[in-house]
Amino acid sequence: MIDKGKVMNKKILKLLYRSFDRELSEKNQKRLDDALENSDELRKERARAIAQRQALAKSGTQSFGPFFAERVMGRIESLGQTKANGFELFYETFKAMFQRLAIASAIVLLALVSYNLIKSDILPQDEIMFASEATMEEILDLPLF
C-alpha cells in the first residue's frame, strides 16, 4: 500500500525545489504556499535547501593556483614546437631516404640526355671527342710553307 502522506510530501518537495529555478504556476504556487504555512518541517527544509544552494554557489570562486596562464601558454608553445619538430624530423628522414636515389636518378638522366643528343646528331660524337677527320680539300688547301 502506498503511503499517501509520503507521496504528497515528495510532490511538495519537488515543487519546493523547482520554485528556486522556475516560476511555478499559480495553482502550484498556492499549493506550495499552503504547505509551507502548515508544515514546520517543510519550512525547515526550505531553509536547509537555501543554505545548501548558497554554500554551493559560494564554492564557485576557484582558481588553479598561481601562474596558471603561464603554464597554459607554455603548453601551447610546446605544442607549436612539437609540430615544428615533427616537420623537421619528416624532412630529415625524407632527405636521408631520397638523397642516394636522387643522385642515382640525376646520373641516369644525364646519361639518357647525352645518349639522345648524340643519336639525333645535334651533338655529333666526333665533336664530343674533338676527333673530326680532315677532308682531302682541307689537306690540299694547306700551304706547303
Partner 1 sequence: MERTLIYDYDRLWLTQEIKLEEQELIASVLNGNNDAFKDIVKKYESRVAATVIGMLGHCTEAEDIGQEAFIRLYQSLHKFRGESSLATYLTRIAINLSLNEIRRRGRHRRTYLTNSDEKIEKLADTTDHNEQKEMRELIQRGFQKLPAKFRSVIVLRLIDGYSTEETAKILNLPVGTVLSRLSRAQMKLKKVLSPLYKGEA
Tell me which of 61, 120, 129, 143 binds partner 1, using CB under 8 A. Answer: 61
Residue 58 binding partner 1, by CB under 8 A: yes
- The answer to whether the CB of 52 falls within 8 A of the CB of 36 is no
Cell of 45: 527544509
Residue 69 binding partner 1, by CB under 8 A: yes
Residue 83 binding partner 1, by CB under 8 A: no
Output phi, psi for 2, to 5 deg: -85, 135
Tell me which of 43, 75, 83, 95 binds partner 1, using CB under 8 A. Answer: 75
User: Shortest distance, CB of residue 14 to partner 1, whole angstroms?
Assistant: 5
Q: How far apart are CA 90 and CA 68, in angstroms?
A: 33
b/e per residue 56-68 (b: at least 16 CB within 10 A): eeeeeeeeeeeee
Cell of 126: 666526333
Residue 103 binding partner 1, by CB under 8 A: no
- The answer to whether the CB of 36 falls within 8 A of the CB of 46 is yes
Residue 21 binding partner 1, by CB under 8 A: yes
Residue 120 binding partner 1, by CB under 8 A: no
Residue 48 binding partner 1, by CB under 8 A: yes
Q: Which residues bind partner 1 (CB under 8 A)?
A: 13-14, 17-18, 20-22, 48-49, 51-53, 55-65, 68-73, 75-77, 79
